[in-house]
Structure 1
Amino acid sequence: MSAVLRVGRQVRWYVRELTDEAAYDRHVAHLRAAHPETCAPSRREFERMRTDRQESDQRPGFRCC
């Protein structure tokens, strides 16, 4: 049973990294470690900031549409 759980955790980790679902968790961990006085944004605020930053990037070919 433990091997099945271990494989399940590894698959979950891989999928979260592949889809960048873990970006918010990394951001919050960074804020807590480097800037403990700063309040972490909500997940919705984080996703909005990330989307705005991606859409404002002027590099050619960076966006798909």
Structure 2
Amino acid sequence: MGRLTSRVTRTGRQIGWYCGTLMGDNHYRRYVAHRTRTHPGEPVMSERDYWRMRYRTSEVEPRCC
């Protein structure tokens, strides 16, 4: 019974991670990691500004890298 519970829990976590990735839940975290790795010491956008910039459709801006 313990192995079954463990397997169900692990599968549930994997499904949650997959759905979160599809919905974009980790995009901001990846952005922050990228900025701190490639542009150390420079300011990082707030999460609110990041999403606003990401979904702005009227203007096209180049990426940093």
Give the structure-1-normalised TM-score: 0.67
- Select which of 37, 42, 55 maps to 1:38: 42
1:56 matched to 2:58? The reply is: yes
* TM-superposed deviation, 1:17: 1.1
Please report the RMSD computed on the Cα atoms of aligned residues, expressed in angstroms.
1.9
Distance of 2:44 and 2:11 partners within structure 1: 31
Q: Which residue of 1 aligns with 2:22?
A: 18
Q: Which structure is larger by alpha-carbon Rg, 1 or 2?
A: 2
The gaps in structure 2 that reach 5 residues or longer are 61-65
Relative contact order: is structure 1 or structure 2 higher (C-alpha 8 Å, sep ≥ 6)?
A: 2
AA paired with 1:11?
Answer: I
The gaps in structure 1 that reach 5 residues or longer are 59-65
- Taking a change above 3 Å as real, the CA distance of residues 5 and 40 of structure 1, as seen in their structure-2 partners, is farther
Aligned residues: 56
